[in-house]
């Protein structure tokens, strides 16, 4: 009996992850959510997140290739070059992992990461991410609104701001052995910004568990602000009455303000913010006010001078 072997699949015949997602997204928009089940995430490589509600976002932007999303990163805990996090973040251990929520709350609590994954239904959100260095991405994030976590701890009337504190462990995060920033990394939001439905407590992207270099196991994504506002590898959330001082505000107060809303009319101290380069594109495009989310968030800043409150 002759034995036949199937020829190996050529790499050129395998649909790239980002192309698969773009095709699926086109079909969803064209034919509705009823077709979603035909495109299971199980065909994707890597550790998948189960029971994720697929995105119904109307954002027409093309997704940034997965390779770019996971190899071109700002995560100074693993180095200051864009390629450093993907090279060095393998040292990060994401289990066990807990997040302490404390401060101006009626029910302070320590959440285990796996407990958090069950706190609210996971959903896919396709958001733009605009970096202060004038480059941008479009990413299918996975998570749930931060407001769902905050409801569990019942903020008091004195809770005006929220501070996020990232892991401080130089053995796992070799970039913390340098004095680039005053570690641990700290960021903050106003309470109404944190409670806004667009603010996502994020545990994955592209259908998969969040890669270490993108802020595993849990980070914040605030799509109308510059990317550094979206704190990564969070271990503590503090609700406070007074505005906290974030790491970049401390490092360069004339360059990095507390609000850090994407605003083409307010330049960085060393470069213009009027245009941006989407990763993978050659030409720049005009920067959108609030990163294009003005209809949803502009009312949060009614009456404020955004050139002073930058």
Set out the domains of the chain in order of their start, with CATH numbers.
47-301 (3.90.420.10)
Between 27 and 242, where is the model more confident?
242
Which residue(s) pair with 155 in the sheet?
105
Q: What digits encode the pLDDT tens for the residues 282-309? A: 999 999 999 999 999 999 999 999 999 9
C-alpha to C-alpha distance for 305 and 229, rounded to whole angstroms: 20
Reported confidence tier of residue 59, pLDDT bands at 50, 70, 90: confident
Instruction: Look over the chain and give the mean of its residue pLDDT values, rounded to a whole number.
Output: 89
The per-residue pLDDT for 32 is 39
How much is the pLDDT for 17?
63
For residue 150, the model assigns a pLDDT of: 98
Q: Which helix (H) or strand (E) holds 28?
A: helix 17-31
Contact 214, 273 (CB under 8 A): no
How far from chain centre, in Å, is Cα 65?
16
Residue 144 pLDDT more than 80?
A: yes
Asked if pLDDT for residue 44 goes beyond 60, the answer is no
Cβ within 8 Å of residue 187, ≥6 positions away: 163, 164, 220, 228, 229, 230, 231, 246, 247
- Whether residue 88 has pLDDT greater than 70: yes
Cα 65 to Cα 54: distance, rounded to the nearest angstrom:
19
Query: What dihedral do alpha carbons 153, 154, 157, 163 form, nearest 10°?
Result: 30
Give dist(CA 145, CA 116) in Å, integer. 12
- Cβ 261 vs Cβ 308: under 8 Å: no
pLDDT, position 20: 55
3-state class (DSSP) for residue 83: coil
Q: What is the pTM of this model?
A: 0.87
In angstroms, the Cα distances linking 189 to 68, 142, 261 are: 28, 20, 11
Task: Quickly list H helices, the chain.
Answer: 17-31, 66-71, 84-88, 113-116, 146-153, 191-195, 247-251, 294-297
Q: What are phi and psi of 164, to 5 degrees?
A: -105, 135
The pLDDT confidence band at residue 22, using thresholds 50, 70 and 90, is low
For 139, 167, 169, 187, 297, the CA distances from 245, given in Å and listed in that order, are 28, 17, 21, 7, 23
Percent of the chain with pLDDT over 90: 83
CA–CA distance, 40 with 78 (Å, rounded to integer): 33
**What pLDDT is recorded for position 57?**
79
pLDDT of residue 56: 83
Helix, strand, or coil (residue 127): strand
What is the radius of gyration, based on Cα positions, of the chain? 20
Is 69 a residue whose pLDDT tops 70? yes
Residue 204: CB partners within 8 Å, gap ≥ 6? 49, 52, 122, 141, 142, 143, 210
pLDDT for 158-207, tens place per residue? 999 999 999 999 999 999 999 999 999 999 999 999 999 999 999 999 99
CA gap 306, 303 in Å, rounded: 9
């Amino acid at each position: 009996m002759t034995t036949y072997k199937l020829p190996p699949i050529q790499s050129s015949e395998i649909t790239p992850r980002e192309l698969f997602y773009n095709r699926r997204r086109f079909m969803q928009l064209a034919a509705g959510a009823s077709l979603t089940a035909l495109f299971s995430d199980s065909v994707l490589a890597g550790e998948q997140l189960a029971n994720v509600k697929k995105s119904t976002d109307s954002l027409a932007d093309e997704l940034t290739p997965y390779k770019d999303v996971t190899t071109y990163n700002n995560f100074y805990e693993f180095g200051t070059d864009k390629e450093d996090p993907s090279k060095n973040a393998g040292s990060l251990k994401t289990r066990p992992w807990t997040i302490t929520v404390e401060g101006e709350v009626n029910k302070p609590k320590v959440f285990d990461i796996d407990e958090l994954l069950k706190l609210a239904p996971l959903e896919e959100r396709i958001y733009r991410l605009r970096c202060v260095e004038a480059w941008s991405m479009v990413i299918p994030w996975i998570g749930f609104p931060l407001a769902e976590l905050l409801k569990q701890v019942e903020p008091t009337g004195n809770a005006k701001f929220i501070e996020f504190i990232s892991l401080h462990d130089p053995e796992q995060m070799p970039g913390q052995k340098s004095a680039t920033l005053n570690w641990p990394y700290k960021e903050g939001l106003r309470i109404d910004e944190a409670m806004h439905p667009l603010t996502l407590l994020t545990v994955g992207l592209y259908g998969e568990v969040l890669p270490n270099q993108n802020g595993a196991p849990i980070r914040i994504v605030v799509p109308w602000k510059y990317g550094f506002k979206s704190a990564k590898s969070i271990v503590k959330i503090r609700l406070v009455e007074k505005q906290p001082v974030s790491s970049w505000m401390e490092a360069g107060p004339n360059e990095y303000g507390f609000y850090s809303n994407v605003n083409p009319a307010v330049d960085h101290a060393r470069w213009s913010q009027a245009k941006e380069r989407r990763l993978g594109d050659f030409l720049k495009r005009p920067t959108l006010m609030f990163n294009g989310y003005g209809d949803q968030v502009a009312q949060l800043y009614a009456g404020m001078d955004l050139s002073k409150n930058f």
